[in-house]
Amino acid sequence: MSEYVSFDLVEWQQPLERREHPMPQPEGRQVLVRVTAAGLCHSDLHAQKGYMDLGHEGKLTFAERGAKLPVTLGHEVAGIVEAIGADVDSVTVGQQVLVFPWIGCGKCQACADQRESDCTAMRMIGLVQKGGFASHCLVEDEKWLVDIDGLDLADVVPQACSGVTVFNALEKMGVLRDGEWMAVMGCGGLGLNAIAIAHAMGIRNIIAVDIDDGKLEAARQMGAAAVLNSGQPQAVEELQRLSEGRLVGIVDTFGGAATARIAVRALVKAGRYIIVGQAGGDFQMPQIWLTQKAMTVRGSHVGNSPQLRALIDMVRAGKVKQMPIERRDLSDINQAMEDLEAGRVTGRIVFQPNESKG
């Protein structure tokens, strides 16, 4: 095969377009992956729009983050190794792999510590580098590949973003003592995975929070001990009641003004509020609460390669409950993005590019 197919963002705020490219030939430590599963993330919707909402300070454009059009989106990527460079020695042709997409600059202290998510010059696959909404993806170094032989690629692929992102946030939140509670705000792909992974970490007192009763039911299936529709007027009081006054941690997978307002009011003194969602807007709270409530408000950006490997070990061991996966053909990508934007998706849409009819 001399060409490969991708669905690219050619113009901001426009549908993705099918394009053909010369097939890359891997050199050195590069690996060519034939993509068989690619997850659709809310971040892909932000990228299509071309900016993120900074509230009263305006917008953060993806051009400022290093994206240049046209770009092949898709940062949850899994597939089969099709070709390798001459210096590759840890993966083999035919192997099933998951791609770690949060590639750092390789030069800063964060990268030296394998804290790629803290690198300020990240070269992410699916934004700065060509991503997985394609039949093939060229990965710059074999070290960014995780062995997933024997696992279902479509089931596992969301762990490259959805999974490792909440894994990172849960590690930052820390251990819960007996009788303490945590809440997961937002029950989309991130939130459902957060519940599953928290459960795998031994946390049982989990409250799922969303405005969609269907997604709350899915959260129960993933292991939530209680659920709360936050559209009600007394959401703060109800969250405190459900947690028996011991809500010590919140992982916010939505990350908007509405969820922040509830979180900072519902947490107990010395509670931890970890934000991973990027709905955007302005974060507002009385500043005195940071001292009076001894509260920690902390952002957490994606995750790191050692965390992804640890998470896949948990998946292999059967500890992480599988969240709902809706498999679609890659040619359905624009409709899928519309469905995700409209809230018509429970769990994760995963494209299967090599079954695409184009």
Q: Is 331 exposed, middle or buried (0-12, 13-18, 19+ CB in 10 A)?
A: middle
Q: Nearest CA to 71 among 80, 81, 63? A: 63
C-alpha 316/C-alpha 337 separation (Å) is: 30
Question: Per this entry, what is the length of the chain?
Answer: 358
Determine contact, residues 267/289, Cβ cutoff 8 Å.
no
Determine contact, residues 247/240, Cβ cutoff 8 Å.
yes
Amino acid (one-letter) located at 21: H
- Residue by residue, DSSP assigns 116-128 as GGG-TT---BTTT
* pLDDT for position 240: 98
Place of tokens 């809230």: 343
- Which residues are bridge partners to 256 per DSSP? 280
* pLDDT for position 1: 57
Q: Which domains does the chain have, with CATH numbers?
A: 3-158+303-355 (3.90.180.10), 163-299 (3.40.50.720)
**Residue 52 has which token pair?**
């993120």
**Residue 79 has which token pair?**
């597939």
**Residue 201 has which token pair?**
């970490």
Give how far the C-alpha of residue 89 lies from the chain's centroid of Cα atoms, to the nearest Å.
29
Q: Which residues contact 53 (CB under 8 A, 6 or more apart)?
A: 59, 279, 280, 281
Consecutive 10-residue averages of pLDDT for the chain (358 residues)? 92 97 97 98 96 95 89 98 97 98 97 97 96 98 98 98 98 96 98 98 97 97 98 96 98 97 97 97 94 96 98 98 97 98 96 66
* pLDDT for position 355: 52
